[in-house]
Amino acid sequence: MSGFDLVVVSNRGPFTLASGPGGVVEVRPAAGGMAPSLRGALAEEPVRSGNGALWVAAALTEADRLHASAGAVATGQESLKLRTVDVTPEVGRAAYDVIANGTLWFLHHGLFDHARRPRFDRVWREAWEEYRQFNEAFADTIAEEASTGATVVVNDYHLALVGRFLIKRRPDLATAFFSHTPFCPPEDLAMLPDGARLELMESMSCFGACGFHVVRWRDAFVRCAAAVGLAPPATFVAPLGADPARLDEVAASEACRSRLLRLEDELDGRTLLLRSDRVELSKNLIRGFLAFDELLEASPQWRGRVVFLARVYASRESLPEYLAYRAETEHVVALVNERWGSPGYTPVILDLEDDFAATVAALRRYELLLVNPIRDGLNLVAMEGPVVNERDGVLVLSREAGAYDELAEVSVGVNPFDVTGTAAAMASGLSMSIEQRRARAAELRRRARSRTPAQWLSEVRHSAQVPGDRDLQA
């Protein structure tokens, strides 16, 4: 059987397609998130034989959809092709909005507002059926494209049911599922309706192996499997790293240099406290701004002398919770600015422009980087910042981020729910002696540069296995 020896699968791909003049397919790199980091890794990954690697992703644009049935397209990266999977807009919306992001994301990040959500009603059950169809369509595409005995790496909760469909179609494939998110504890999993809970855990057990960024998410998964009476598949832990080569390239670019000059102008010599995130409930933006408010209240010496720049970009705005969160975030920022601002001084700059060169410029410049998620699979920003930072900046890091497991001794740890504690952590980071900062930053940099996406991919690839027989109940 011909086909691809390595198939990487995710909902959002590393490229999107656009229809150029005369029907020519243009391939455009996606901006942020996990996929662009892996894109670099695939360029480095030596491909054993055959056609090389294929990335399978959901059709998100009109052109993606148009080309979904036409097979793989070249991405301009020699060893990587892209194949999009098309489903009806209703199925796509139900899978992405209602189940993946509206349910599983909230479940794994502990974000449900229990008095109101979740509600597993008839509409939700229809959406679960569509989520199942979405996963089946991916399994069909993978089964068509993978060579005999190929390795398949499926990423994230959007595609947790793929394993079950794939094992029936192609039992010869070595498969791994990788969760870039946390995994919920069994007490939270118990919220799902019984059938869905069992189906989710059984389907994940149909992969040859399941991988996580850190031990605690892996352990939670194993406990969840036990809670539904399943023997878990093989599991492994493989934290992803920042991509130093890509970051160095952007940091050295003219675009980044000009953004940095603009930023220096805006800062006018002030200290920079930075965050860089999606506008996302799990990232805990609001408590970060409230902590900054407390910092300025408790430490008058910082008023007028520190700017909190939030380089954040809009995300998942088809979900009402995200729209409401953005509005609340903007409101809190306005209050802080009203309280502490003065002519020529805006304490918080909320910058929603999606411009990676500007983000890298800010990462080069910060004195303090705040990464305070409520819960996070890893958090790449905590790694990317130290890779390019030029000011021996301090990292204030949530204990609930997977990255904390590796960076605890070289960051200032915070409980993300504790606003006053976060303010105190910011104050201590800002007033740290230069010697202390230098020593920590050197070690942070070393750790952040020591892992690359290519190593991650190689670990995941080697952890993938042909799944054994599974006795499926759901």
Among residues 7 and 410, whose Cβ is nearest to ligand F6P?
7
- In the complex, the smallest distance separating the C-beta of residue 316 from ligand F6P, rounded to whole angstroms, is 5
Q: Are β-strands 368-371 and 271-278 bridged in parallel, bridged antiparallel, or unpaired?
A: parallel
Task: Between 161 and 427, name the residue whose CB sits nearer to ligand F6P.
Answer: 161
Query: Closest Cα partner for 179 from 468, 405, 450, 402?
Result: 402
- Print the SS3 string covering 402-468: CCHHHHHHHCEEECCCCHHHHHHHHHHHHCCCHHHHHHHHHHHHHHHHCCCHHHHHHHHHHHCECCC
Identity of the residue, 91 or 427, whose beta carbon is nearer to ligand F6P in the bound complex: 91
DSSP strand pairing (174-179 vs 146-155): parallel
Q: Who's near 162: CB < 8 A, 6+ residues apart?
A: 9, 135, 138, 139, 142, 154, 177, 203
- Residue 14, token pair as written in the block: 């590393």
User: Per 3-state DSSP, what percentage of the chain is helix, strand, and coil (rounded to 5)?
Assistant: 50, 20, 30
260 contacts: CB under 8 Å, gap ≥ 6: 361, 364, 365
Q: How far is the CB of 280 from ligand F6P (least distance, A)?
A: 8
Residue closer to ligand F6P by CB (options 95, 291) is: 95
By beta-carbon proximity to ligand F6P, the closer residue of 289 and 313 is 313
Whole-angstrom distance, CA of residue 273 vs CA of residue 362: 10
Binding site for ligand F6P (CB under 6 A): 12, 33-34, 156, 180-181, 315-316, 377
Q: Give me the least distance between CB of 84 and ligand F6P, in Å please.
A: 14
CB of 30 to ligand F6P, least distance (A): 9
User: By C-beta, is 83 or 316 nearer to ligand F6P?
Assistant: 316
Which three-class secondary structure state does DSSP give residue 234? strand
Half-sphere exposure of 276 (CA within 13 A, CB side): 28
Which residue in the shown chain puts its C-beta closest to ligand F6P?
33
Q: How far is the CB of 48 from ligand F6P (least distance, A)?
A: 26
Nearer to ligand F6P, 233 or 377 (CB): 377
Q: How far is the CB of 318 from ligand F6P (least distance, A)?
A: 10
Q: How far is the CB of 415 from ligand F6P (least distance, A)?
A: 22
